[in-house]
Chain A
């Protein structure tokens, strides 16, 4: 590389005016074997930077195992419990409100009829017993007359 250029770069370098690219050129020049004798005193500076960069972290990193956290389990359980309670409560309410209403009017009429007939037959069962009262009354009339 042109010696003049290197000298110029070096001057800029000590003023802090060089770019990273120019510094890389200097680094390359001063770590090569062809440094001009009057510039040799700068070799150790760039040698030191190169050397400093050779070291590194040399331990094997042991990352602590992450413990599975159980702190959400009680929360999840209580939420589930609440949902369960809510649902069962709602279901009970639903059965109270369900009056067995028929949607189709014909079916409703039929069922009502059936229900009334059933009621009628129960009532007739009761009146059947009352016929005995008539015999009692007849007998009573014969005597009292």
Chain B
């Protein structure tokens, strides 16, 4: 596999990998680093990925594991800063209505979900993976995926309604 063939295979997937990494790591820079790291690892494993039926599933697993490792390293060193208040600067102009505040609030709520719920919600509602794909990726059964998904969606709704009722809008 030469570079062009590899890029043709990887380019459609890389945005998804990045978004997944960002969902887990939160920081944009770290997510870019993670994606780059994973893509380079894929490149050095290109002989292996030739035989795979889905490069994407393999890449997603790699990204997920990479991010978990990063998170573990982060939680073990207590001096690390966690980026919880970063602004997504590139896309602020897309939605400038009053809703964009609430949209950012929802994105923040997503960050506060437990890891598993966050991952399932992201894979389903942002990336439109099927439940069976998610189940395979996360080593769960499909019922568990559905339950986790429902829980995540309900939590977001509750938190959002709570905020509305407090009149913080």
Contacts and interface: CB of A to CB of B under 8 A. Distances in A.
A100 B39 CA distance: 70
Contacts of B95: 47, 51
A57 B7 CA distance: 13
Contacts of A24: 128
Nearest to A26: B125
B125 A44 contact: no
Interface of A is mostly: helix
Q: Considering residues A17, A41, A52, which has the most beta carbons from chain B within 10 angstroms of its beta carbon? A: A52
Interface size bracket, B side = 35 or more
Contacts of B105: 44
Interface string B5-23: 0110010001101110011
Interface of B: 3, 6-7, 10, 14-15, 17-19, 22-23, 28, 32, 35-36, 39-40, 43-44, 88, 90-91, 94-95, 99-100, 102-107, 110, 122, 124-128, 130, 146-147, 149-150, 153-154, 156-157, 160-161, 164
Interface of A: 13-17, 20, 23-24, 41-45, 47-49, 51-59, 61, 63-64
The 3 closest A-B pairs by CB, nearest first: A56-B15, A16-B150, A44-B102
